[in-house]
Amino acid sequence: MFIKQITIEGVDGDVEIRHTDTGAVVIANEIAQNIDRGASRDDLYSIAWNAAKVICGETKDGKPNATNSMIHDVLNEIERVAGF
């Protein structure tokens, strides 16, 4: 099975992850970030961290109101759609 697109409903909007020829694009609050298949794990985590802020909301410090495990769940979905 191959998933081409996924939309995650969040507290502050939706996060959409779409498959592209080179990886994926993550759209959160109308901000699109392209991910190439050669991206480092740190780059992917950074994008998942920002997406988690939209999905789970933000704390007063501007951090995601999510556990590290929840951020990794978002990261796994990005990797699954991108085809990593």
- State the chain's mean pLDDT as an integer: 90
Convert the pLDDT of each residue in 13-27 to its tens digit. 899 999 999 889 999
Q: What is the pLDDT of residue 26?
A: 94
Could you read off the pLDDT of 40-78 as tens digits, one per residue?
889 999 999 999 999 999 999 989 999 999 999 999 998
What phi and psi values does residue 9 have, to the nearest 5 degrees? -75, 130
Gap between the Cα atoms of 49 and 5, Å rounded? 19
Q: What is the pLDDT of residue 83?
A: 81
The pTM is what?
A: 0.85
